Amino acid sequence: MWTYHPDLLAVPVPRYTSFPTAAEFGDEVGEGDFVQALADVRGDISLYVHIPFCEKICWYCGCNTSAANKAERVASYLDALNHEISLVAERVPKGAKVSRIAFGGGSPNGISPIDFVRIVDTLIVHFGVTNPVMSIELDPRTLGSEWASVIGAIGIDRASLGVQTFAPHLQEAIGRVQPTRMIENSTAMLRAAGITSLNFDLMYGLPGQTMADLDDSLEQTVALGADRIALFGYAHVPHMIPRQRKIDASDLPDAQARFAMAAHGYSFLLDAGYVPVGFDHFALPGDSLAQAMLKGTLRRNFQGFTEDPSDVLLGLGASAISGFPGLLAQNEKNTGRYRMMLSQDRLPVNRGIARTAQDQHRGAVIEALLCRGRARIDETLRAEALPLLRPYLDADLCEIDGEDLVIRPGGVPYARSIAARFDPYRKDSLRRFSSAV
Ligand code: SF4
């Protein structure tokens, strides 16, 4: 279904979970900008709560996380997080309502269930939350019955399991050993706890991974009834993520093999009845993510593809990013400095970028291309982008339909590369991003 054009994938491009991307953030944005943006918030807003701890650190992981092996350090982080929640909540105007809360990390279940309940209580009390849609990222290696009970009692009904691969030799190669029985037990416990939308994260492009390995992981994922699947290509960038140095890079699939794996995964999951969502997500037709895709209301934010319609996402916790129409603002990444800022009653925002009207316009075009495969292009953008798009148009990966640019079915793996033609920041920062497939 997909044709491999190595020259059109040669240039690394961002994942565009925001525009401008985090690579454009600078230290000119701080607490004052964030407080001003908060004051203007109205209507439904979403929260993301970052818990930067995991019981065991996987070698491939690029997340801001560390081992939860020092109780005192975890406790003081959670105190700071609870304090941040109260400081942010008191600045949110009365007219705003929290309708969604996502817990991520790290692994939220890298902390104790009691500590987690305390965070949820703080959110409910300070934001006055009633009946939000709640989701949580989970590590099967630390998911016990106590955690399942807490998830059920709180009423969280969406969960994402870090699976990556079922193949034992690949799990060894990436430092994440979790036997199939563990994933099956986690799935059963989460279903019994009331999880109605369960995502499995899977990876291709792992060292030593064969097409048969990928097939097996896809088959087991489908058999376990995952409602959503995110199929990511492993990006080996040890110069940026030092913990990846533990991974033997001598057996990594080359670019063409990675492309073949992405294509195979795509057609496998379509044949299994999943709806393709954007360029790397899949969902069963009844799932809300597939419904958003089918209705044309899919969005993209820091968590990837989402059905969340809100334009305001408040990030809480070290390194968390908040998004407003006119501002992207990131918290201090270092947990020690994050704690110190909060101990001084300061909101820990210290990086970001003001989004100009032009940024918002280009961001809407990029989001539309990635989420709907179609975007209205005004004359100015058309004149600028058409020469850059010529190779993609000539290869039938996209086409002009009236005033719209449309990504054709064979152009799906090139969607990020096509969208990048509307990104004027790209020229200076290409080397910082991962391969487009
Ligand atoms: S469990 Fe997830 S967040 Fe934690 S180290 Fe592994 S991949 Fe990273």
pLDDT, tens digit, for every residue of 281-337?
A: 999 999 999 999 999 999 999 999 999 999 999 999 999 999 999 999 999 999 999
- Please give the C-alpha separations between residue 383 and each of 195, 375, 403, in angstroms, as whole numbers: 48, 15, 12
Query: What are the tens digits of pLDDT across the range 103-145?
Result: 999 999 999 999 999 999 999 999 989 899 999 999 999 999 9
Q: Distance, CA 54 to ligand 1 centroid (Å)?
A: 6
Q: Distance, CA 365 to ligand 1 centroid (Å)?
A: 32
Residue 137 Cβ inside 6 Å of ligand 1? The answer reads no
Kindly report the protein residue whose alpha carbon is nearest to atom 5 of ligand 1. 57
Q: Distance, CA 242 to ligand 1 centroid (Å)?
A: 14
Q: Which fold has domain 20-316?
A: Transcription Regulator spoIIAA (3.30.750)
The confidence score (pLDDT) of residue 258 equals 97
Q: Three-class SS of residue 66?
A: strand
Q: Three-class SS of residue 217?
A: helix
Parse the chain into domains and list their residue ranges: 1-19+356-437, 20-316
The confidence score (pLDDT) of residue 433 equals 52
The confidence score (pLDDT) of residue 436 equals 64
Residue 106 Cβ inside 6 Å of ligand 1? The answer reads yes
The confidence score (pLDDT) of residue 431 equals 45
CA distance 104 to 46: 13
Residue 61 Cβ inside 6 Å of ligand 1? The answer reads yes
Per-position b or e across 188-227, b if 16+ CB within 10 A of its CB: ebbeebebebbbbbbbbbbbbbeeebbeebbebbbebebb
Query: Which of 139, 171, 177 is the pocket-test mutation for ligand 1 (most atoms within 8 Å of CB)?
Result: 139
Report the half-sphere exposure of 405 (CA within 13 A, side-chain side): 27
Atom of ligand 1 nearest to the CA of 176: 6
The confidence score (pLDDT) of residue 239 equals 93
CA distance 9 to 141: 35
Q: Distance, CA 92 to ligand 1 centroid (Å)?
A: 31
CA distance 141 to 183: 8
Give every CB contact of residue 405 below 8 A, 6+ residues apart in sequence: 369, 374, 375, 377, 385, 389, 398, 399, 418
Q: Which fold has domain 1-19+356-437?
A: Arc Repressor Mutant, subunit A (1.10.10)
What six digits make up the tokens of 402? 């009236």
Atom of ligand 1 nearest to the CA of 162: 2
Residue 107 Cβ inside 6 Å of ligand 1? The answer reads yes
Kindly report the protein residue whose alpha carbon is nearest to atom 3 of ligand 1. 106
Pairing of strands 66-67, 53-54: parallel
Q: Distance, CA 63 to ligand 1 centroid (Å)?
A: 7
Query: Which of 138, 147, 164, 176 is the pocket-test mutation for ligand 1 (most atoms within 8 Å of CB)?
Result: 176
Kindly report the protein residue whose alpha carbon is nearest to atom 8 of ligand 1. 61
The confidence score (pLDDT) of residue 430 equals 45
Look at residues 284, 263, 288, 262 and name the one whose alpha carbon lies nearest to residue 274: 284
CA distance 98 to 120: 13
Q: Distance, CA 172 to ligand 1 centroid (Å)?
A: 15
> What are the beta bridge partners of residue 305?
300
Q: Distance, CA 149 to ligand 1 centroid (Å)?
A: 22
- Enumerate residue ranges in the chain where pLDDT < 50: 429-432
Quickly tell me which residue has 């909540």 as its tokens.
89
Kindly report the protein residue whose alpha carbon is nearest to atom 2 of ligand 1. 106
Residue 139 Cβ inside 6 Å of ligand 1? The answer reads yes
The confidence score (pLDDT) of residue 435 equals 62
Q: Distance, CA 64 to ligand 1 centroid (Å)?
A: 9
The confidence score (pLDDT) of residue 89 equals 98
Residue 54 Cβ inside 6 Å of ligand 1? The answer reads yes
Query: Which of 61, 66, 69 is the pocket-test mutation for ligand 1 (most atoms within 8 Å of CB)?
Result: 61
CA distance 258 to 75: 41
CA distance 182 to 141: 7
CA distance 416 to 398: 12
CA distance 151 to 145: 10
CA distance 312 to 304: 15
Q: Distance, CA 423 to ligand 1 centroid (Å)?
A: 30
